[in-house]
């Protein structure tokens, strides 16, 4: 039986989002581990919507616009009001000056370009992908506020930065009386918990919606890799960032997750996602399935409930620290 989708509101806003967001980074050809198959990408998006997911996350930089174009074609014939579409700006889209960053010029240029690629009149959530040290935050916030005033953007969000910078962005928006960020995308999963020591307490106290990226640690937490063997397939075979998660500390977490999954007749992916969904601060993990069976397995995590002792077992091997080596 298909799991019933659950919904929540994004942070303190009234916008309703599914408790799993569909990550669209895999749709494109930018990296060897991506789908590079438009028909399969469209099927995945269709199935996600059929399962009740109403929330899609992409970025201008994902395969330099290809992901947005694929999402655009997927939503073209749908009732736009039923969908929550999120994209991002910051990383360079070409070589040369003004190719990236968060200047008023680049933000306004890329907002238009994203709307064209997505084939839509507005995005629901427009996110800054990273902090730009070269642009005053006042300039970025005023450009984002303008997009909201123009009706091109419904809400603004942020992603992955030091807590003090995010706090500065929030109080600057209040002082300047412009739209403030309503959401944050941190890297957050059972083995990457550094944000517990960074931005998550800010989100909790400020009513910011938390949308964890890489909720399965790029596939590590599905239990598909073997401690004693080099990965021959899966993302970790070609992606160093994912392979760097093969540490003793992380295998110890996975051992607990595997044991809990066995006892509960669930899969390690489902237990890992359930762990995130049990965190009050988390609104919607952004899952990045590459196949329909991944998606269906991941959605069924909504049916898994963990007790406090299981949560403790998963958390015991790691003490969250920020900054974490090799992380933003």
Ligand X SMILES: NC(=O)c1ccc[n+]([C@@H]2O[C@H](COP(=O)([O-])OP(=O)(O)OC[C@H]3O[C@@H](n4cnc5c(N)ncnc54)[C@H](OP(=O)(O)O)[C@@H]3O)[C@@H](O)[C@H]2O)c1
| Interacting residues with ligand X (CB under 6 A) | 23-26, 33, 57, 129, 159-160, 185, 213-219, 222, 224, 234-235, 269, 286-290, 294, 297-298
Residue closer to ligand X, measured from CB, 176 or 255? 255
How near is the Cβ of 220 to ligand X at its closest, in Å? 8
Which residues are part of the catalytic machinery?
Answer: 62
Q: What is the number of other CB atoms lying within 10 angstroms of the CB of residue 189?
A: 24
List residues bridging with 128 in a β-sheet.
Answer: 89, 158
Residue among 53, 48, 54, 61 at smallest CA distance from 87: 61
Beta carbon of residue 189, minimum distance to ligand X (angstroms, whole number)? 6
**Least CB distance from residue 163 to ligand X, whole Å?**
16
Cβ closer to ligand X: 209 or 218? Answer: 218
DSSP string across 238-251: T-HHHHTT--HHHH
Nearest CA to 272 out of 303, 293, 252, 301 is that of 301
Q: How far is the CB of 127 from ligand X (least distance, A)?
A: 7
Q: Which is nearer to ligand X, 96 or 227 (CB)?
A: 227
- Closest approach of Cβ 269 to ligand X, in Å? 4
The residue to which tokens 């064209």 are assigned? 116
Please tell me the distance from the alpha carbon of residue 105 to that of residue 99, in angstroms, as a whole number. Answer: 10
Sign of CA dihedral 55, 53, 288, 117: negative
**From the CB of residue 30, how many other CB atoms can be counted at a distance below 10 Å?**
17
**185 closest CA partner among 218, 156, 149:** 156
Distances from the Cα of 68 to the Cα of 59, 82, 114, 123, angstroms: 7, 18, 7, 11
Nearer to ligand X, 180 or 215 (CB): 215
Identify which of residues 3 and 176 has a Cβ nearer to ligand X in the complex.
3
Q: Of the two residues 62 and 120, which places its CB atom closer to ligand X in the complex?
A: 62
CB 124 within 8 A of CB 163: no
Q: What are 168's two structure tokens?
A: 């500065």
Nearest to 59 by CA among 13, 117, 102: 117
CB of 175 to ligand X, least distance (A): 26
Residue 17 has which token pair? 């989002």
d(CA 55, CA 60): 17
């Amino acid at each position: 039986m298909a799991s019933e989708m659950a919904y929540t509101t994004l942070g303190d806003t009234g916008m309703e989002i599914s408790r799993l967001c569909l990550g669209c980074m895999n749709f494109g050809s930018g990296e060897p581990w991506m789908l590079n198959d438009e028909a399969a990408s469209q099927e995945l998006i269709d199935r996600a919507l059929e399962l009740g997911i109403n929330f899609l996350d992409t970025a201008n930089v994902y395969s330099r616009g290809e992901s947005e174009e694929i999402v655009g074609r997927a939503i073209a014939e749908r009732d736009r009001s039923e969908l929550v579409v999120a994209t991002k700006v910051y990383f360079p889209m070409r070589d040369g000056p003004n190719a990236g960053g968060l200047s008023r010029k680049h933000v306004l240029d890329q907002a238009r370009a994203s709307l064209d690629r997505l084939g839509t009149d507005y995005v629901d959530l427009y996110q800054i992908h990273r902090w730009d040290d070269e642009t005053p935050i006042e300039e970025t916030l005023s450009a984002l506020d303008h997009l909201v005033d123009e009706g091109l953007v419904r809400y603004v969000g942020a992603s992955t930065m030091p807590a003090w910078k995010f706090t500065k962005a929030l109080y600057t928006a209040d002082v300047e009386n412009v739209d403030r960020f309503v959401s944050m995308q941190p890297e957050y999963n059972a083995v990457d918990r550094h944000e517990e020591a960074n931005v998550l307490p800010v989100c909790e106290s400020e009513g910011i919606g938390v949308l964890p990226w890489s909720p399965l640690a790029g596939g590590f937490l599905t239990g598909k890799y073997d401690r004693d063997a080099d990965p021959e397939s899966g993302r970790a075979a070609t992606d160093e960032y994912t392979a760097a998660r093969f540490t003793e500390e992380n295998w110890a977490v996975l051992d607990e997750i595997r044991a809990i999954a066995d006892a509960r007749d669930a899969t390690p992916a489902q237990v890992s996602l359930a762990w995130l969904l049990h965190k009050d601060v988390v609104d919607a993990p952004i899952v990045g399935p590459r196949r329909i069976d991944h998606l269906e397995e991941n959605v069924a995590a909504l049916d898994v409930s963990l007790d406090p002792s299981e949560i403790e077992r998963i958390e015991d091997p790691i003490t969250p620290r920020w900054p974490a080596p090799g992380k933003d």
